[in-house]
Amino acid sequence: MFRGTFGGTTMNEEGPSFILAGNAPYENRGCEAIVRGTVKILRKHFNDPCFICVSRFSSDEQFNRQRAVERDGAITHLQTCGRMSREQALRNFWRPYTWSYVHKRYFRPEMLKYLEYQKMIPHLDGAAAVLSVGGDNYSLDYGIPTLFTDLDDIAIEKGRPIVIWGASVGPFDKIPEYEGYMARHLREVTGIFARESATIDYLRGIDVVENVYPVSDPAFMMDPEKPAGIEDEISIEEDSIGINLSPLMANYVTGGDLDRWTELAASIVAEVAARTGMRIYMIPHVTVPDSNDYEFMRRAVARIRDGREKITLVPPRYNAAETKWIIGRMAVFAGARTHATIAALSSGVPTLSFAYSIKARGINRDLFGSDDNCLGPDMLAPETIAEKIGSMLSQRSQIQSSLRSTIPKVQEGAMKAGKYLRNILDD
């Protein structure tokens, strides 16, 4: 039996509890992959752990769907409370909760974080650690990450170890004042388990060093699963090309013009199909209501006039492990969603990343020593992508050989996260 202390609180490792907070619903397969990989890692290093997964859901229906599909009995899901919109406040004007919220918002704003995470608070004292999961939450890609720095603050104030887990961090240099704040904040957390060297280099540049640990993304540890009865629904032809495109890319490629990005996406797929003559599988990886790959790719495919018979749109019902199995059947995969590309790379599939942030380039540099297999937003011309995929097809054997050599090392890096956490809690 292991007994360690942190902040004066004794932890008993017989069934330690870990809070996994900050991830999106499983409709984001990347977030599910992070959870599955994290659970696998911690089970290797701790005896019979259990997990409290705290996520923000767009509706009670979405929350209930996630609980219904959860297949791991050691995982309990909780819903953050969310911050009240103006419309919600007006609709519930006479409720005491509304007035309490308004009072805190305007007179004690530092307490809003406790409202957001109020369902998590009762579990803190019994938790061995809080792991802030989600991959790239600590960046400006989705706005100021107040939701996640608030989570850190709560754990620190309650004397619990808080680890930014398997993450890419930054950059924040577009807002210099905020970058200064984040540098101070990041030095205060228990640990930053950085999943790629680009993050480590950035953190070193803002003098965040002592609490940084090099690891790999936990999603590299998720095992694929063949979907039951998939042959009755969709035929997966070996040696095809898999493509994942997301509506999120409009923000980086067309200045937020989704229609123009849809048209460009259609041209990309049509060009790849025409140049290679191979079957194309359009594979969604995120299907949340406000950023749905499936609906976006469905609209893009509908705009293709010639060669549509070579294109198959994969239904959105498959979970993260099943989607990884499908991706693993491809000869080459090209993806916008980082964890879709991780599913491909960890399956030994030559992979082209559409890199709009630090994470894709960092992961590729660590795997291959370069980011040659990444294309930035300014390089997404249909001809460029088709040519790159053609080149990867011709070098398929060499790339596969390289992945067979490097992926086990990457998975070792992912497993080290559990060792680092164990050492932190032991101390």
Q: What are 193-209's pLDDT values in tens digits? A: 999 998 999 999 999 99
Do 201 and 268 lie in a common domain? no
Specify whether 18 is located in the same domain as 165: yes
Residue bearing tokens 């930053």: 192
288 and 367 housed in the same domain: yes
Instruction: Mark whether 206 and 58 lie in a shared domain.
Output: yes
Percent of residues in the chain assigned helix, strand, coil, to nearest 5: 50, 15, 35
Clarify whether residues 44 and 144 are in a common domain: yes
CATH number assigned to the domain comprising residue 328? 3.40.50.2000
Q: 41 and 189 share a domain?
A: yes
Q: Is the model's pLDDT at 212 over the cut of 50?
A: yes
Closest CA to 332 of 229, 202, 238, 194: 238
User: How many residues are recorded in the chain?
Assistant: 427
Which has more confidence, 427 or 175? 175
Structure tokens at 87: 């419309």
> Is residue 356, in this structure, part of any structural domain at all?
yes
Same-domain status, 131 and 214: yes
Asked whether residue 403 is assigned to any structural domain, the reply reads: no
- Rounded CA-CA distance 271/268 in Å is 5
In a domain, 112, yes or no: no
Average pLDDT over residues 70-87: 78
- pLDDT (0 to 100) of residue 11: 46
DSSP 8-state code for residue 230: G
Helix (H, G, I), strand (E, B) or coil at 234: coil
199 and 235 within one domain: no
User: pLDDT tens, 35-46?
Assistant: 999 999 999 999
Both tokens of residue 283?
């594979």
Give the closest residue to 159 by CA, choosing from 191, 131, 129.
129
Domain check: are 327 and 376 in the same one? yes
User: CB neighbours (10 Å) of residue 103?
Assistant: 11
**Rounded distance, CA 363 to CA 192, Å?**
16
CATH number, position 60: 3.40.50.11720
What are the tens digits of pLDDT across the range 306-341? 889 999 999 999 999 999 999 999 999 999 999 999
Same domain flag for 318 and 275: yes
Return mean pLDDT, the chain: 89
Maximum separation of any 2 CA atoms in the chain, in Å: 67
What pLDDT was estimated at residue 116? 84
- Tell me, yes or no, whether 212 lies in a domain: yes
Compute the distance between CA of residue 29 and CA of residue 27 in angstroms, rounded to an integer: 6
Q: Is residue 401, in this structure, part of any structural domain at all? A: no
Residue-wise pLDDT tens digits, 141-161: 878 898 899 999 999 999 999
Q: For residues 344 and 327, what is the distance between their CA atoms, to the nearest angstrom?
A: 6
Confidence tier at 85 by pLDDT (50, 70, 90): very low
Give the number of domains in the chain: 2
Strands (E), 108-251: 127-132, 162-167, 191-194, 212-214, 241-244
pLDDT at 107: 42
- The answer to whether residue 399 sits within a structural domain is no
Token pair 């990989």 is found at: 37
Beta strand 287-288 with 291-292: parallel, antiparallel or unpaired? antiparallel
Residue with tokens 């993450």: 167
Per the structure, the complete domain to which residue 417 belongs is given by: 3-81+117-222+410-426
Burial profile 269-294: b = 16 or more Cβ within 10 angstroms, e = fewer: bbbbbebbebbbbbbbbbbbeebbbb
Q: Are residues 76 and 218 in the same domain?
A: yes
Do the domain assignments include residue 102?
no
Instruction: Tell me whether residue 315 is in a domain.
Output: yes
Residue 252 zone, left/alpha/beta (φ > 0; ψ -120 to 50; rest): alpha
The model's pTM? 0.88
Contact criterion met (CB below 8 Å) for 182 and 170: yes
Q: Do residues 170 and 146 share a domain?
A: yes
